[in-house]
Amino acid sequence: MKRKGILIISIIFISILITGYLFIKPALNYVSGYLSKSDRVKANVLIVEGWLPQYALKMAYTEFKKNENNYEYIITTGLKYIEEYIVLPENGYLIFYPGIKNSQSNNVSDHIIEVDAAGSMDGAYSAHFNLFVNDSLISDFYADKNKKKYSAKWKGSLSDVDSVMVQFTNDRADENGDINLYVKEIVIDQKIIIPYLNNSEYNNLDSKIRIINNFSSSAELARNWLMAEGIDSTLIKAVPCEKVTINRTLTSALAFRDWLKVTNTDIKGINIISMGTHARRTWMVYNKIMDEKYPIGIISLPDINYNRSGIYKLLKTIRETLGIIYYWFILIPY
């Protein structure tokens, strides 16, 4: 009897879940579709939000090239920041240039080369990387989510070290997640610290893209990626804004508006590239901030995480819905 009662309760509970799902899913899809809807206008300026992941920036590049007879400029926006760890999103080399020059560096001796790194996932999804000094492989590692230093021995003269290279080799994305590698710095003999920023380049193996890591904002990083894809540097303008923890979309839009006031950019129309359910909020903010002076369109790129996790899609949709309600109020003074 006890088992029968448990079975009945289980059946009722499962039935409630199924019924709720059948009602919630259509509503979720409708709201998500509304928030993610694209609505292009005839435009000569394309704005790209700098926080977009690399696959989305590639799609932004395609949008520009397909319409390069119309678009005259790309404007990248984003916060001023310095990430502690740089992400390697695809297989490739992160190349450090130590430039060690002192009297002791000519001595041939044993050295310890360390990579401060981490992976995006654990276990079978740990990020694999090879470590090279110049063109010689000295070791390889699997990096899990724990941030730590991976050490290898190398013998030689430090003055002969032209480059130290971290090669990410097992990039993969499936329903379980996306393997990425994060790297902070190279440490030699526990005293020579070489951070990735301003001392490294990222070379993508598949497309031969080379990114110079000399940015101080997500706007500049997005600009670097788009230039590496092949867009002329004279056509891309980075418009960074101050780092804030809230109202980031608004802060970026205000920075763009202020930038327009001090430039001679002739605006006929603007299309803005965002991603997923965030697109509607971005569109609303720019229309309000620009006071409808120009036609403004929105291009919502697909968020690949929607296909991997229904929970992610649900939480993201709820967050962006609340975000729009919040922005209705804070935009009243503008």
The CA-atom distances, in angstroms, between 151 and each of 27, 34, 131 are: 52, 50, 10
**pLDDT one-digit tens code per residue, 277-310:** 999 999 999 999 988 788 999 999 998 776 666 6
Q: Start-end ranges of CATH 2.60.120 in the chain?
A: 86-204
Closest-CA residue to 108 (of 156, 169, 141): 156
pLDDT of residue 103: 47
Q: Start-end ranges of CATH 3.40.50 in the chain?
A: 28-80+216-330
The pTM for the full model equals 0.77
Structure tokens at 32: 């998500």
3.40.50, 3.30.2010, 2.60.40, 3.50.4: CATH of 28-80+216-330: 3.40.50
Q: Domain 86-204: which topology?
A: Jelly Rolls (2.60.120)
pLDDT of residue 17: 44
The CA-atom distances, in angstroms, between 156 and each of 153, 165, 191, 194 are: 10, 16, 17, 18
User: Rounded distance, CA 193 to CA 187, Å?
Assistant: 5
User: Rounded distance, CA 314 to CA 203, Å?
Assistant: 36
Structure tokens at 150: 């991976």
Residue 125's pLDDT band, with cuts at 50, 70 and 90, is very high
**pLDDT one-digit tens code per residue, 55-114:** 899 999 999 999 888 999 999 999 998 788 999 988 999 999 988 766 456 777 899 999
CB 77 within 8 A of CB 49: yes
Structure tokens at 292: 């409808």
